[in-house]
């Protein structure tokens, strides 16, 4: 049974019905054979470090899958960056958690991808205001997932109201082009005045200034209309009409400054990604990013059994044996077998998450954000010539 908007009910996820059919067939076979070995399974994306760091998140929701199940789980912390090796390790009787694999990987793969893409935007414009505007590209049930991932990566806010309700944060946003259309060409000033008179005082007065006329003309009109109450203008120029967008932004800045309005901030949106943010960050004050985050390919996590009843095993092409991962002082990501000596001054990244079916970790969004940004600095995320540092990990 599904919900009215086509989503899987929460209890189906918790009960293990949100799974691939072959896990249920396997469970029938194991029950028939009276087999239920004690296993260690690991969630990984890459076996070896490659230098391509990604953000790990979704861990709080993943932990809830194991609530009440007789397993022990260790995992990276929320917001931690990883590069090769396990991000999660599960130990217990296999039939206790086997059917959770499909949901577990989904709860980790997409949020981690969103957070990684958002971190690329954050690092591309570290001193600018960057907001997440991408919820419209996703099923509504995922809005809080993408917005939380954006906050983990250090973005300054988001636009989705219900996501804000879920996260305990205020959504950001001022006006769409539809407001301008409702007043019509030549009446832009009336639209901006209506907005100014209607919305609460704590909402920034950011005028949309690219609807009917060129960006300079509408920006100057907005400055004249709202006077000192105008906080900024937003340029959402369509890509097909944009030309040299940097030149447009610089021209708007110049003309506002020439009239003594250097207090008016410039915000840009509309199909922007890390490359555009790097290009514009010295001439614009803030950005809205959407598809650059929501179109991120899910992190290709897999769950593999690496030990059965204490004996190391693996499928071909995977690495057998229980592993640990470490962050070294130089920012490297180090993977080793758990029974080997840890690297000098290495910080172990796998921490207790669940013990015998009880969640033993608390989750704090602000702490996750601080961790993500500090770790990004430590590993040099986004510092390379293409925006992604190639920080060779060690095996």
Helix (H, G, I), strand (E, B) or coil at 358: strand
Banded pLDDT at 305 (limits 50, 70, 90):
very high
Integer Cα distance of 158 and 171 in angstroms: 6
Q: What is the mean pLDDT of residues 29-33?
A: 98
Integer Cα distance of 114 and 56 in angstroms: 10
Integer Cα distance of 55 and 48 in angstroms: 16
Handedness of CA 56, 117, 275, 278 (dihedral sign): negative
- Look at residue 392 and tell me whether its pLDDT is greater than 50: no
Q: What is the mean pLDDT of residues 107-131?
A: 98
* Residues of the chain above pLDDT 70, percent: 96
Q: What is the mean pLDDT of residues 142-157?
A: 98
Could you check whether 10-114+297-379 and 126-294 share the same CATH topology? Answer: no
Banded pLDDT at 39 (limits 50, 70, 90):
very high
- List the one residue out of 51, 34, 27, 4 whose CA is nearest residue 383: 51
Joined tokens for residue 173: 């946003």
- List the one residue out of 214, 238, 218 whose CA is nearest residue 230: 218
- Look at residue 224 and tell me whether its pLDDT is greater than 70: yes
CATH topology of domain 126-294: TIM Barrel (3.20.20)
Strands 157-158 vs 129-132: parallel, antiparallel or unpaired = parallel
Run of H or E residues at 278? helix 274-280
Q: From its phi and psi, is residue 51 left (phi > 0), alpha (psi between -120 and 50) or beta?
A: left
Read off the DSSP letter of residue 189: H
Superfamily of domain 10-114+297-379: nicotinate phosphoribosyltransferase (3.20.140.10)
Integer Cα distance of 161 and 311 in angstroms: 50
Banded pLDDT at 237 (limits 50, 70, 90):
confident
| CB neighbour list of residue 266: distance below 8 Å, 6 or more residues apart | 232, 233, 235, 249, 252, 253, 283, 284, 285, 286
Q: What is the DSSP string of 102-116?
A: HHHHHHHHHHHHHHH
Per-residue pLDDT tens digits for 364-380 = 999 999 999 999 999 99
Per-residue pLDDT tens digits for 71-115 = 999 999 999 999 999 999 999 999 999 999 999 999 999 999 999
The span from the first CA to the last CA of the chain, in angstroms, equals: 47
- List the one residue out of 74, 78, 88 whose CA is nearest residue 45: 88
- Look at residue 154 and tell me whether its pLDDT is greater than 50: yes
Q: Specify the residue for token string 């907001």.
A: 131
Q: Give φ, ψ of 188 to 5 degrees.
A: -60, -40
Supply the mean pLDDT for the chain.
94
Contact, 379 vs 391, CB < 8 A? yes
Q: What is the mean pLDDT of residues 9-17?
A: 94
Domain ranges of the chain: 10-114+297-379, 126-294
Q: What is the mean pLDDT of residues 342-360?
A: 94
């Amino acid at each position: 049974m599904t919900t009215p908007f086509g989503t899987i009910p929460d209890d189906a996820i918790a009960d293990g019905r949100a799974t691939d059919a072959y896990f249920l067939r396997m469970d029938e076979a194991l029950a028939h054979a009276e087999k239920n070995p004690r296993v260690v399974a690991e969630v990984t994306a890459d076996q070896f470090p490659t230098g391509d760091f990604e953000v790990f998140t979704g861990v709080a929701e993943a932990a809830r899958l194991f609530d009440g199940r007789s397993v022990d789980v260790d995992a990276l912390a929320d917001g931690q960056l990883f590069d090769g090796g396990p991000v999660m390790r599960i130990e217990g009787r296999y039939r206790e958690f086997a059917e959770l694999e499909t949901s577990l990987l989904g709860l980790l793969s997409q949020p981690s991808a969103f957070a990684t893409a958002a971190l690329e935007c954050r690092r591309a414009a570290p001193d600018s205001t960057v907001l997440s505007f991408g919820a419209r590209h996703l099923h509504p049930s995922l809005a809080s997932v993408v917005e939380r991932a954006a906050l983990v990566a250090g973005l300054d806010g988001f636009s989705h109201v219900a996501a804000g309700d879920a996260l305990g944060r205020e959504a950001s946003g001022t006006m769409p082009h539809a407001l301008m259309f409702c007043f019509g060409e030549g009446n832009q000033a009336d639209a901006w005045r209506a907005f100014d008179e209607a919305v609460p005082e704590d909402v920034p007065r950011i005028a949309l200034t690219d609807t009917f006329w060129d960006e300079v003309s509408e920006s100057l009109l907005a400055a004249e209309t709202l006077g000192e109450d105008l906080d900024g203008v937003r340029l959402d120029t369509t890509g097909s009409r944009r030309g040299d967008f940097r030149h447009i932004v610089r021209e708007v800045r110049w003309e506002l400054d020439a009239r003594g309005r250097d207090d008016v901030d410039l915000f840009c949106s509309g199909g922007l990604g890390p490359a555009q943010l790097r290009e514009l960050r010295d001439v614009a004050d803030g950005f809205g990013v959407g598809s650059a985050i929501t179109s991120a390919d899910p992190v290709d996590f897999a769950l593999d059994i690496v030990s059965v009843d204490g004996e190391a095993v693996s499928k071909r092409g995977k690495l057998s044996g229980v592993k640990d991962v470490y962050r070294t002082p130089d920012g490297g990501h180090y993977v080793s077998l758990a029974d080997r000596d840890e690297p000098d001054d290495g910080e172990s990244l796998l921490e207790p998450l669940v013990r015998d079916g009880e969640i033993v970790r608390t989750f704090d969004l602000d702490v996750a954000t601080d961790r993500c940004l500090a770790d990004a600095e430590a590993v040099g995320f986004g510092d390379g010539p293409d925006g992604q540092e190639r920080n060779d990990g060690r095996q």
